[in-house]
Amino acid sequence: MQLTVLGCHAATPRTLANPTSQTLDIRGHLFLIDCGEGTQVQLRKSKLKFSRIKHIFISHLHGDHFFGLPGLVSTFRLLGRENELHIYGPKGIKEAITMLLKLGDSWTNYPLYFHELTSKESIVVFEDDKIKVSTIPLNHRIYTNGFLFQEKEVDRKLNIEAVTAFGIDKCYYQKIKNGKDITLDNGNVVSNTKLTFDPPKPKSYAFCSDTVFEPSIVPIIKDVDVLYHEATFLDSEAELATKTKHSTAKQAAIIAKDANVGALVLGHYSTRYKSTDLFKQEAEEVFKPVFLGEDGKAFNF
């Protein structure tokens, strides 16, 4: 599972501070999460293949989270895209994008599907045999969702040495991988644990931006491997955080601790702070490990 932070700064793009966007490379999918202005340039810089993006998840309709989307949708057309593109985001996103395309008389020549969200409960928005993606209802100035990405259980790993030693025919391999015990020709039953190894534990990632300190998300993101949580402010600006419906580094860490996550990645820093070191320091007083999101930085979990 690789998380690439394309941009993780609050508000507007600047020379060295890109607004929110990230990719999650998980089980062969390259999911794009949020798409602030300049995302396509950041994708190029990170050498991520545009054609691998088939699903885009937009948390909310503030400019710093989706003003890069119309350009990216247009670029896909210019690149000769043929594959479907699915966009998941708040109601209104379809009208906005289609209107911009209409004004330019530039319809996509690939199938473009919008999945508009209105639910205030956590719902599943995408699912296949490998991955499930659900919303995490957040609490911001406008309707906002985070997204929870969960790998599904995979087959148990075959212990080739063991199955060979027992002389088991290949036609039983899939059953064994599914966890079944095997009855040999002599009537003996071989327990599945003797024929397989545990598969890798399914990984999970939760993206939470933008939101005020919102403990109601804890049950939804319980035990995830990695939590990205916005930390627009430091605790010294906690009042401002509450007023603008953002979080502090400390509050992000409290959520991480209460949800028992594996690791916390911070981002969405306000530009009022010269350095992000204090964010890490403040969060680590509550929870560890904490990683600082940085534009262009890739994390392997």
- Which chain residues interact with its own copies by CB under 8 A? 11-15, 37-38, 40-41, 44-45, 60-64, 67-68, 70-71, 74-75, 78, 90, 92-93, 95-96, 99-100, 103-106, 141-142
210 assigned to a ligand binding site: yes
Instruction: Give the span between the Cα atoms of 92 and 149, in whole angstroms.
Output: 24
3-state helix, strand, coil in the chain (%, to 5): 30, 30, 40
246 assigned to a ligand binding site: no
Under a CB-based contact definition with an 8 Å cutoff, are residues 38 and 64 in contact?
Answer: no
| Orientation of helix 93-103 relative to helix 69-78, angle to 10° | 50
258 is catalytic: no
Cβ closer to its own copies: 103 or 171?
Answer: 103
Task: Tell me the chain's radius of gyration from C-alpha atoms.
Answer: 22
Smallest distance, its own copies to C-beta of residue 71, A:
4
Query: Which residue shows structure tokens 């020549």?
Result: 109
Smallest distance, its own copies to C-beta of residue 19, A:
8
Smallest distance, its own copies to C-beta of residue 214, A:
19
Closest C-alpha among 220, 44, 253, 22 to residue 132? 220
Cβ closer to its own copies: 82 or 95?
Answer: 95
268 assigned to a ligand binding site: yes
Closest C-alpha among 226, 40, 262, 58 to residue 142? 58
64 assigned to a ligand binding site: yes
Cβ closer to its own copies: 41 or 154?
Answer: 41
- Other beta carbons less than 10 A from residue 248's beta carbon: 25
Smallest distance, its own copies to C-beta of residue 270, A:
11
Binding residues: 60, 62, 64-65, 140, 210, 268
Binding residues for Zn(2+): 60, 62, 64-65, 140, 210, 268
The catalytic site residues sit at 64
